[in-house]
Amino acid sequence: MNGRNDENLKELFEKFLDAEQAQKYVEDVQKAEQILRENPAPEPDDMLIANIKAEIAMRLPARKTYVFKHIAYKVVSIAAAVVFLTAIGLRLFEKDDSKPSPVQRASIIPTAIWESDDITTDDADLAIFTIEIEQIEDEMMVLQFGEDDTNGDSSVSELEMELIEINNSDFWKG
Amino acid sequence: MAKSDELAQIIIGCKNGDSNCFSQVVDMYASRCYGYFYRLTSNNDLSDELLSELFVKLVEKIASYKGGSFDGWIFKIASNIFHDYLRTKQRRKKLLDVQKKQLELEITEPKKSDNEQIDKLQIQLTRLDTDTRELIMLRFYSELGFKEIAAMRSEPIGTTLAKLHRGLKKLRELMR
CATH of residue B141's domain is 1.10.1740.10
pTM of the complete model: 0.62
Check CB contact of B32 with chain A, cutoff 8 Å: no
pLDDT in tens, chain B (176 residues): 457 788 999 999 999 889 999 999 999 999 999 999 999 998 899 999 999 999 999 999 999 998 888 999 999 999 999 999 988 887 777 777 666 666 666 666 565 544 444 678 888 898 899 899 999 999 999 988 888 999 989 999 999 999 999 999 999 888 88
Check CB contact of A47 with chain B, cutoff 8 Å: no
User: Chain A contacts of B23, Cβ < 8 Å?
Assistant: 53, 56
Check CB contact of A10 with chain B, cutoff 8 Å: no
> Which DSSP symbol is given to B176?
-
User: Chain B contacts of A51, Cβ < 8 Å?
Assistant: 52
Question: What is the tens place of the pLDDT at every residue in A98-135?
Answer: 555 555 556 666 666 666 666 667 777 778 878 888 88
Check CB contact of A103 with chain B, cutoff 8 Å: no
Q: Where exactly are the structural domains of chain A?
A: 9-38, 44-98, 102-173
User: Residue B81's domain spans which residues?
Assistant: 2-175
Cβ(B24)–Cβ(B10) below 8 Å: yes
What is the DSSP annotation of B85-131? HHHHHHHHHHHTGGGHHHHHHHHHS----TT----HHHHHHTTS-HH
Max distance between CA atoms of chain B, in angstroms, equals 55
Alpha-carbon distances of A100 from A96, A103, A107, A132, B122, rounded to whole Å: 9, 8, 11, 15, 89
Which segments within A26-87 are labelled E, that is strand?
none
Name the domain count of chain B. Answer: 1
Q: Using the beta-carbon criterion (under 8 Å), do B48 and A12 form an inter-chain contact?
A: no
The interface predicted TM-score of the complex, written ipTM, equals: 0.79
Nearest-CA neighbor of B131 among B100, B162, B101?
Answer: B162
Sign of CA dihedral A26, A29, A31, A36: negative
User: Chain B contacts of A22, Cβ < 8 Å?
Assistant: none
Sign of CA dihedral B66, B67, B72, B78: positive
